[in-house]
Amino acid sequence: MSLDYLLDAANWSLTNPEGFPQRILEHLGYTALALLIAAVIAFPIGLLIGHTGRGALLAINLGNAGRALPTLGVLMLALAVVGIGLVPVTIALVVLAIPPILATTYAGIRSVADETVDAARGVGMTEPQIAWRVEVPIALPIIVGGLRNATLQVISTATIAAYAGLGGLGRYLFDGLATLEYDQVVAGAIVIAALAVVVDLALAGTQRLLVSPGVGARSAGNRPTTVHPEPNPEPAG
């Protein structure tokens, strides 16, 4: 296993349009765009379902079905329907990112203790205020956990952008395979894996900063009024 390609300084030049810095930026760009769209779609729906308790079954089943969809197939379908470009790639990545965000937003909101919500209602907060100022802050550790999970999946999968003719770190994998330059493939794979680990660590740090100090990861999971004999069938991971 040769690391020549990875360690070649020319491939790390900032001005090289096919160098690692440029490809990493492209890769993060596709990832951020897809996550933003997925969050804008999934977060309000998860919040609404979690707050009202209506449509929960639908959300869980949709989430599970979405998890079973192979992203490569969704990409091909989108390519066949929309044509080549950024749009089909983004569609495929958004479809990938919605289930974890939706499921954890819902699970997070449901995990808020009933007494807490009742108390908020008792002091005269309106329903939107309860959702936004009470439920979301308490559920934040779980919601950010879902966002982390979605980010990880999208970063891993954004390699398929290269298969659809775009850039990103997948370029090294597919170009290397096509030209049988295995050290290019190895370099691409190592950089993608490293990027995923670094971004995950950065998000773990952000998670700590965002969450109110009064809300431990522990207290959000406590829901003393309803004790389920079975664990939540929709795991956060």
Where along the sequence are the contacts to other proteins (CB under 8 A)? 1, 64-65, 67-77, 79-80, 152, 155-157, 159-160, 163, 170, 173-174, 177, 182, 185-186, 188-190, 192-193, 196-197, 200, 229-231, 233, 235, 237
Taking residue 138's Cβ as centre, other Cβ atoms within 10 Å add up to 23
Q: How far is the CB of 1 from other proteins (least distance, A)?
A: 4
Nearer to other proteins, 24 or 69 (CB): 69
Q: How far is the CB of 235 from other proteins (least distance, A)?
A: 6
Nearer to other proteins, 98 or 136 (CB): 98
Nearer to other proteins, 17 or 229 (CB): 229
Q: How far is the CB of 57 from other proteins (least distance, A)?
A: 15
Calpha distance 107→50 (Å, rounded): 7
Amino acid (one-letter) located at 91: I
Q: How far is the CB of 38 from other proteins (least distance, A)?
A: 17
Q: Confirm if 98 and 38 have CB atoms less than 8 A apart.
A: yes
DSSP-based three-state secondary structure for 125: coil
Q: How far is the CB of 192 from other proteins (least distance, A)?
A: 5
Calpha distance 25→19 (Å, rounded): 10
Nearer to other proteins, 15 or 226 (CB): 226
Nearest residue to 104 (alpha-carbon basis) of 35, 56, 62, 46: 46
Q: How far is the CB of 83 from other proteins (least distance, A)?
A: 8
Q: Tell me which long-range contacts 12-19 makes (C-beta under 8 A, separation of at least 24).
A: 18/171
Calpha distance 217→151 (Å, rounded): 20
Print burial letters for 12-42: b (CB count within 10 Å at least 16), e (below 16).
eeeeeeebbebbbebbbbbbebbbebbbeeb
